């Protein structure tokens, strides 16, 4: 089963499973958005759990692979300047330097190629733009045998358990790490802020 089909099936239950557990971490991450109006990409917007937490002054574009997820996101936009786009987070349908900021919440550990997702997000950012990340990552050289054991099954239907953020970042040299802090599950989930330097 591909990710598009599996997420279409779980879309009705996704919010109930994740909303309360991740709300505080999402709020902390989104507090990194600036006060001045900007163009913000929500790459992998999902069902729109971030939307009620977003400051209203920005112009938002939310991209998702799954029509069912995107429909739910559109229903949560309220008064936000929000535009939904159907597309692949690893091959963004936007020109270079289209956004000043990007939000990657629970997407790098979902897509088959997190390096492509991160590189594409960097491509569509203006120089000096930032990326706010909230996701689960293995630490470099962390063994995590149970996560690795279940990864082949779970990566086909929902999420990857084997992504090492540092490996992905090394492959995208135009991005600089500005902050990295633990969020949930004893640091398995992390809040990361990157900046595009070139």
What are the respective helix, strand and coil percentages of the chain, to the nearest 5? 35, 30, 35
Name the pTM for this structure: 0.84
* C-alpha radius of gyration, the chain, whole number: 16
Mean pLDDT (the chain) is 85
Residue ranges making up the domain that contains 181: 3-196
Q: What's the pLDDT tens digit per position in 125-145? A: 999 999 999 999 887 665 655
- Distance of alpha carbon 86 from alpha carbon 45, whole angstroms: 10
> In which band, very low, low, confident or very high, does the pLDDT at 172 lie, cut at 50, 70 and 90?
very high
Please give the Cα distance from 127 to 148 (Å, whole number): 36
pLDDT for 138: 82
Over residues 45-70, mean pLDDT? 94
Whether 134 contacts 183, CB under 8 Å: yes
- For residue 25, the number of C-alpha atoms closer than 13 Å in the C-beta half-sphere is 26
Q: What pLDDT was estimated at residue 143? A: 65
Please state the rounded mean pLDDT for residues 117-129.
98
Which CATH number belongs to the domain containing residue 180 in this structure? 3.40.50.150
The number of domains in the chain is 1
Could you give the CA distance from residue 198 to residue 194 in angstroms, rounded to a whole number? Answer: 12
- pLDDT above 90 for 12: no
Residue 156 CA: distances (Å) to CA of 22, 37, 161: 23, 38, 11
């Amino acid at each position: 089963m591909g990710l598009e089909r599996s997420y279409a099936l779980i879309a009705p239950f996704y919010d109930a499973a994740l909303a309360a557990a991740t709300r505080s971490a999402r709020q902390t991450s989104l507090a990194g958005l600036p006060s001045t109006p900007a163009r913000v990409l929500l790459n992998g917007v999902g069902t729109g759990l971030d939307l009620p937490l977003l400051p209203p002054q920005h112009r938002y574009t939310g991209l998702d692979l799954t029509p069912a997820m995107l429909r739910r996101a559109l229903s949560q936009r309220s008064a936000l300047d929000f535009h939904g786009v159907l597309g692949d987070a690893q091959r963004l349908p936007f020109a270079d330097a289209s956004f000043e900021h990007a939000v990657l919440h629970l997407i790098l550990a979902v897509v088959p190629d997190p390096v492509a997702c991160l590189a594409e997000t960097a491509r569509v950012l203006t120089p000096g733009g930032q990326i706010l990340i909230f996701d689960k990552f293995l630490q470099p050289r962390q063994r995590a045998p149970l996560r690795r054991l279940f990864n082949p099954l779970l990566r086909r239907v929902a999420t990857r358990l084997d992504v090492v953020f540092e490996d992905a970042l090394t492959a995208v040299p135009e991005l600089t790490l500005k902050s990295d802090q633990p969020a949930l599950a004893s640091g398995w989930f992390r809040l990361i802020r990157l900046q595009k330097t070139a």
